Amino acid sequence: MSAPVIDPVRPAAPDTPAGRTSKAQRTTPARFDTALGWNDRPGLAWALRILLCLIALAVFAAPFLTIFSGAFTTNPSGSSLSFLPHDSTLLNFRVAGERGIWDYLGNSLVIAGGGLLLQLVVCTLAAYALARHRFRGQALIMMLFMMTLMLPEEVIAIPLSLVLGDVPVVHLDLKGTVWGVILPLGAWGFSVMMLTEFMRDIPAEIEEAARLDGVGELRMLWQIILPLCRPALGVAGVLGFIMIWDQYLLPLIASKDPTDYTVTVALSILRTDPEVGSGVVLAGAVIALIPSLIVYLLLQRSLVTGIAAGATKG
Amino acid sequence: MTATVPAPGAREGTGRRAFDKKAVVPWLFLAPGLLLALVFKFWPMAKGIWLSFFDVRPFLGDKWTGLENYSRVLTDHRFQDAIGHTLILGIGQSVGAILLGFALALLLEGQARSLKFLRTAVFLPAVTATAVVGELWRLMYYPTSDGLLNSGLHFFGVGTVQFLDNPGIALYSTMVMGIWIWAPYNMVIFLAGLAGVDRSLYEAAAMDGVSLWQRLRFVTLPAIRPALMIVLTLATIRGLRVFTEVYVLTGGGPAGSTDVWMTRAYTLGFSRNDIGGASAASVVLLCVTLLLTVLVNHLRKRGEAR
């Protein structure tokens, strides 16, 4: 398994700076750039492509506008739910606030922050051992981490909820605490494998030179290996955040009562509350959406690279 | 793999002790990860397998019942229905998301700035939490004539559709939402595959005067075969253990018409407190997932060998 870090955005051909050079100067015509041979000259195919792009935009992105417009509309139901708000209001957010949405968001942020930190530390340490050391049982350990991917929360939900209520040996009850969500997220096989492959590609000479200078294991990882891993850490970070933010079943089974819910799980409380309308639910959805939106827009390059490359390991 | 780790016992005098220290170091680094995986992944898995053979009674003590839980789950008609729903949902969703993801990749492939913007926007569903997506679609599926999708259907002269309340339709409504979530995800993988296609092949194909369809079929498709296999593997496993999508959109209803294997197991375990039965259901799912993963990997290896 080599590390196929493929950037899906092919680097621009050197002969087409920003695609503005005249067609005559290109060595390969535009129609050889894409599988379908799209032409960048206005014409029938060009118009068709624009039309299809607009449809794709309407199908996949426009619904997000309805979340925002609905959240700012007093009482959206059915027809008043449209792409643009009619009467802007913050009432929905105030009602959602009264139902404790900010506390839920607080839970989510603590879990996402703590979970991500733990995940990055744990997975980096494991990856360092797997990539830069040789020891007996290495292949077996690698397989164990790979197997964690095959045991998602869905499959082990029922026994996991028992374990969270009474952790073996130490007999702690993690239910109702953020640790009940954070700790199970720590060992994520995906991050371990991605970081391992990245660290393996770091030349051994760098490590040997540092060893001659008497650098110990921890300093080696912290000062030599990690700075070289920044791109991979970015990928692990953004994918980890999206994965943690998307958790649904885990916060559900790790909670003791509804105040322990994360903001995404709490949306169902708002929905089943007969006293609040769909506008409040949408306000909650906006609040649950914005952190992942920010992370995505800031770090989308890492995210896309990670999915394209890491997908090979599932 | 780094083959240049200094040989154990490089310094002769302290050979034995240096070797021991060297051998311990990697395990210290692995310890936190292994501990967490053990406690929160493998121990629950073992416990689940163990409990699946018991009638779990919280205060009376568990009673060994052998395979009774399994036979009860596998003969329960609601679980049998759930198998059908899981298969329909999994296959429909996977096929739909793969076809649509491929179409999107073909449409949005290219270097222009506007295309990058479009890809960013289209990818939004894949990064949004499933619970948020569920709320969004519940409102889009609003069952009155002025609901967003229903008013659109009215424009084309179709009557009001009870997307989530009609047992005959609800499963397909869930499927559409699943396709909507996963098509952009697949698109990114396909785009990576398409970027790796040798452009000179397109030029050569043009010189041979092949049609667009032939070019897609004989140049593009073989080149993105690995990407296709990845997408297929991911989709299969995802389809089997689908839970959140169904749980947030329909909760299994109406009348169990969207109940999939995992929502069924969840209801059994948490609402009816039948821990043994729910564990048995989870173990069945685990076995099928493992079997399928091995099978797909086998096919993949054979495909690569050819």
pLDDT range class, residue B18, cuts 50, 70, 90: low
Average pLDDT, chain A: 81
Confidence tier at A74 by pLDDT (50, 70, 90): low
Q: Residues 30..69 of B with a Cβ closer than 8 Å to A: which?
A: 30, 32-34, 36-37, 39-45, 47-48, 51
**B148-171 residue pLDDT tens:** 788 778 778 777 788 888 888 899
**Bridge partners, residue B54, by sequence:** B64
Torsion A43-A44-A46-A51 (CA) sign? positive
User: Which of A39-48, A85-94, B192-201, B204-213 is predicted least confidently?
Assistant: A85-94
Would you call A289 an interface residue with chain B, using a CB distance cutoff of 8 Å? yes
Residue B228 token pair: 């296709």
pLDDT score of A115 more than 90 = yes
Amino acid at A149: L
Enter the tokens of residue B125.
Answer: 């569903």
The pLDDT score that the predictor gives to residue A1 is 33
Does A83 or A233 have the greater pLDDT score?
A: A233
SS3 B54: strand
A168-220 pLDDT, tens digit per residue, is 888 888 888 899 999 999 999 889 988 998 898 888 888 888 888 888 888 88
Q: Is the dihedral of CA B72, B76, B80, B85 positive or negative?
A: negative
Hey, are the CB atoms on B145 and A265 less than 8 Å from each other? no
Retrieve residue B80's tokens: 């049998």
Q: How confident is the model over A12-39, as a mean pLDDT?
A: 56
Instruction: Give pTM, 2 decimals.
Output: 0.84
Q: What is the Cα–Cα distance from B43 to B18, expressed in whole angstroms?
A: 34
CB pair distance less than 8 Å for B123 and A278: no
- The residues that bridge with B64 in the sheet, in sequence order, are B54
Q: Is the ipTM of this complex over 0.90?
A: no
Q: Cβ separation of B44 and A160 shorter than 8 Å?
A: yes
Sign of the alpha-carbon torsion through A299, A301, A303, A306: negative
* Distance, CA of A53 to CA of A229 (rounded, Å): 37
Q: Do B122 and A56 form a contact (C-beta atoms < 8 A)?
A: yes
Q: Do B36 and A288 touch (CB under 8 A)?
A: no
3-state secondary structure chain A: CCCCCCCCCCCCCCCCHHHCCCHHHCCCCHHHCCCCCCCCCCCHHHHHHHHHHHHHHHHHCHHHHHHHHHHCECCCCHHHCCCCCCCECCHHHHHHHHCCHHHHHHHHHHHHHHHHHHHHHHHHHHHHHHHHCCCCCHHHHHHHHHHHCCCCHHHHHHHHHHHHHCCCCCCCCCCCCCHHHHHHHCCCHHHHHHHHHHHHCCCHHHHHHHHHCCCCHHHHHHHHHHHHCHHHHHHHHHHHHHHHHCCCHHHHHCCCCHHHCCHHHHHHHHHHCCCCCHHHHHHHHHHHHHHHHHHHHHHHHHHHHHHHHHHHHC
Flag if A307 and B189 touch (Cβ within 8 Å): yes
A282 contacts in chain B (CB < 8 Å): 135, 139
Question: What is the pLDDT at residue B98?
Answer: 93
CA distance A118 to A236: 12
* Per-residue pLDDT, B209: 79
Please report residues of B whose CB lies closer than 8 A to that of A314: 230, 233-234, 237
B64: helix, coil or strand?
strand
Contact B8, B23 (CB under 8 A): yes
User: Which stretches does DSSP call E strand in B249-292?
Assistant: none
Contact B284, B79 (CB under 8 A): no
CA distance A313 to chain B (A): 8
* A65/B contact by beta carbon, under 8 A: no
Question: Is it the case that residue A77 has pLDDT exceeding 80?
Answer: no
Maximum Cα interatomic distance, chain B, rounded to a whole number of Å: 90
Scanning B103-162 for CB atoms below 8 A from A yields 104, 106-112, 116, 118, 120-125, 127-132, 134-136, 138-140, 142, 144-148, 150-151
Q: Is B112 exposed, middle or buried (0-12, 13-18, 19+ CB in 10 A)?
A: middle
In this structure, of B218-222, B231-235, B260-264, the range with the lowest mean pLDDT score is B231-235
pLDDT tens-digit map of A270-281: 888 877 778 888
Cα separation, B202 vs B213, whole angstroms: 12
- Confirm or reject contact between A311 and chain B (CB < 8 A): yes
Contacts of A3 in chain B (CB under 8 A): none
User: Which amino acid is located at B11 in the chain?
Assistant: R
Q: Is the pLDDT of residue A8 over 60?
A: no
Phi then psi for A273, rounded to 5 degrees? -75, 115
Closest residue in B to A298 (Cα–Cα): B120
Residue in B closest to A164 by C-alpha: B40
- Tell me if A187 and B33 make a contact (CB, 8 A cut-off): yes
Q: How many CB atoms lie within 10 A of CB A137?
A: 12
Contacts of B286 in chain A (CB under 8 A): 150-151, 155
Q: Do A132 and B234 touch (CB under 8 A)?
A: no
Beta carbons of A285 and A71 less than 8 angstroms apart? yes
A197 to chain B: closest CA residue: B1
Among partner residues B107, B116, B127, which is closest to A292 by beta-carbon distance?
B127
Q: Give the Cα-Cα-Cα angle A124, A126, A130 (nearest 5 degrees).
A: 115
CA distance A147 to chain B (A): 9
The answer to whether B282 and A155 have CB atoms below 8 angstroms apart is yes
Instruction: Chain B: give the shortest CA distance to residue A299, in Å.
Output: 11
What confidence tier does B203 reach under pLDDT thresholds 50, 70, 90? confident
- Residue A105 vs residue A27, higher pLDDT: A105
Q: Do B33 and A49 touch (CB under 8 A)?
A: no
Closest by CA to B279, choosing from B9, B47, B105, is: B47
B194 near A CB under 8 A: yes
